[in-house]
Amino acid sequence: MDTKKSLAERFEEQRGRLHAVAYRMLGSLAEADDAVQEAWIRLGRADAEEIENLAGWLTTVVGRVCLDMLRSRASRREDPVGAHLPDPIITPAESSGPEHAAVMADSVGLALLVVLDTLPPAERVAFVLHDTFAVPFDQIAPIVDRTPAAARQLASRARRRVEGAAPRPDPDPALQRRVVDAFLSAARGGDFEALLRVLDPRVETHADWGALRPGVPAVVHGAEAVARSAISYARPAECVRPALVNGGAGVVVLDDAGRPFSVMGFTVVDGLIVRIDALADPVRLAQLDLAGLAGDGRD
């Protein structure tokens, strides 16, 4: 009993990091939970006394479970209608303290997650483990069924694709928020020129509507097109709640009844918005924890 209790406590110490690993690999909070739970089940079946490095052992197990899940997902995936966004992590804009820090440990920009979702499963696993969590290639190799040299090549290919497609946001959250607030204010006021001043000329919006609006473009390219779209979809200030979306400036947009209508994450680079990701699928929104961000739309 004492041994089991000790093992459980040691596993709980690793749970946050394991969930962060799984979330980056899968882009799904529920699937990340499943991967971590599977690691716990396998630990219960293993001879704990034979495990010299519990953290490394658990990381290996989670990596293998995630790789299997990614391969299964790829084998059954059909071309989606419109854009598909990973699950966002949403916290109040003013959040602080240890609980917030624990949540943010899982955070990675939505734009990066979208790019990771285009990688082959083995590349994604190798890149996440090495580049994000500093797992050496001799430990990654058996997870992806490659030699260490081949695992290094997988991560290198993934890195090139990520660096070419995922913009690096400004690190200053206050700057991000000022730019996003200026965007929202200009959209509400119908100020086209003010919108252009905060949008990168090559800005893109990616909207995951689910089945809500068939036929509505999922991706919009260019500052002028994005500005026109922003003005047409602008909501009153009381219907837009500031939030952190995967660690960056974002908002939760409410409908007239105070229910979440969409979650929007902004990628700000050099003081300009280069990408907007919006999740507006009502089925997926209902599965998110938005406590404290929704309301009646009037307060």
Q: What is the pLDDT of residues 110-123, one digit of tens each?
A: 889 989 999 999 99
Specify the pLDDT at position 265: 95
| Shared domain check, 26 and 154 | yes
146 & 182 share domain? no
Q: Which of 125, 149, 165 is the last residue of a domain?
A: 165
Q: How confident is the chain (299 residues) per 10-residue block, as mean pLDDT?
A: 71 94 94 97 90 94 97 71 81 67 63 91 97 95 97 96 86 93 97 98 91 70 96 91 92 90 95 95 86 54
CATH of the domain at 159: 1.20.140.160
In a domain, 294, yes or no: no
184 shares its domain with 143:
no
- 140 and 228: one domain? no
Same domain, 149 and 6: yes
117 and 220 both lie in a single domain: no
| Average pLDDT over the chain, rounded to an integer | 88
State which of 129, 146, 165 marks the end of a domain: 165
In a domain, 255, yes or no: yes
One domain, residues 224 and 154: no
Q: What is the CATH number of the domain that holds 268?
A: 3.10.450.50
Give the residue among 176, 171, 172 at the shortest CA–CA distance from 275.
176
Domain tally, the chain: 2
**pLDDT value for 297:** 40
Residue 90 lies in a domain: no
The confidence score (pLDDT) of residue 102 equals 53
- Please tell me whether residues 156 and 180 are part of one structural domain: no
Q: Are residues 10 and 27 in the same domain?
A: yes
Instruction: Supply the DSSP string of the chain, one letter for each residue.
Output: -HHHHHHHHHHHHHHHHHHHHHHHHHS-HHHHHHHHHHHHHHHHHS-GGG-S-HHHHHHHHHHHHHHHHHHHHHHH----SS---PPP-EEETT--SHHHHHHHTT---HHHHHHHTTS-HHHHHHHIIIIIT---HHHHHHHHTS-HHHHHHHHHHHHHHHHHHS----S-HHHHHHHHHHHHHHHHHT-HHHHHHHEEEEEEEEEE-TTSSTTS-SEEESHHHHHHHHHHH---GGGEEEEEETTEEEEEEE-TTS-EEEEEEEEEETTEEEEEEEE--HHHHTTS--TTT---S--
Does residue 95 form part of some domain? no
What is the model's pTM? Answer: 0.85
pLDDT at 296: 46
Is 274 among the domain residues?
Answer: yes
Domain that holds residue 183: 173-285
Residue 101 belongs to some domain of the structure: no
Asked whether residue 265 is assigned to any structural domain, the reply reads yes
Tokens coding 219: 């991706």
Question: Based on the domain organization, do 46 and 191 belong to the same domain?
Answer: no
Quick one: 204 and 262 in the same domain? yes
Query: Does 159 share its domain with 234?
Result: no
- 192 belongs to a structural domain: yes
